[in-house]
Amino acid sequence: MIWAEARGGAIGRGGTMPWHLPEDLAHFKTTTWGAPVIMGRRTWESLPERFRPLPGRENVVVTRSAGFEARGAAAVPSIEKALERTRGSVRDEYETHLRRLAEDPGTSCQDPGAWPPRAAWIMGGGRLYRAAMPFADELVVTRIELDVPDADTFAPQIGPEWRLAEQGGPLVSTTGLGYRFERWLRR
C-alpha cells in the first residue's frame, strides 16, 4: 500500500489532497511504475481526467456501483476481486519473463529493473486502505509536516503487526513543506 499523510493521519479533504508535494508525486510514480494500482472509485474520480488511467500501470477500480465504467481501467466489486485480478497479471508477467530467460541464456537476470513487478499497489482512498490492510505486506508512507484541521479522509492506523524497515531523513519540498519517506513491513 502507498499513501502520503499529513499530521494526524490526514490524507484528504473534499476529494482532494490538501497539499502540493511534487517530490511525493515523483516518488509515487517511481514506486508504482509497471505494477498494477488498485484504487477506490472516488480516488479514480479525483484523478485529473488527463491522468486517467495512470500510465505505465494496470489500473483497477474497486466500486460497489454495478455497471460503473472506468475508461482505461478495470472495475471490480471488491478488494478480493482486485487482488485476484492483479495477482494473475503479475504472475503471468513473471512466467513470461522466466520463459524469456530460459530461451535466451545470454539475458542477464541480475538487473532488478529488468524484472516485472512483484506486487500490486493499493493507492487509496481511506475506506479501501482499511479494507486492504489485512492483505498488505508492505506500506510506503510519506509523512508530511502539515496540519489539515478540516481533513475528512484518514490513513489507516499502523499497528504493532508492522515494523519500520526504512525511515528516510527529513526533506524539504520545493514548495517549502517538510516530509520524509517511510517503508513498513509486516512482522
Domains of the chain are: 2-186 (3.40.430.10)
**pTM score:** 0.85
Return the C-alpha torsion angle 79, 46, 123, 118, nearest 10.
90
Q: Greatest CA separation found in the chain?
A: 58
Q: Going residue by residue through the chain (187 aa), what tens digit of pLDDT does each one get?
A: 999 999 999 999 999 999 999 999 999 999 998 899 999 999 999 999 999 999 999 999 999 999 999 999 999 999 999 999 998 766 666 566 666 666 776 655 544 445 556 689 999 999 999 999 999 999 999 999 999 999 999 999 999 999 999 999 999 999 999 999 999 999 9
What is the C-alpha end-to-end distance of the chain, expressed in Å? 15
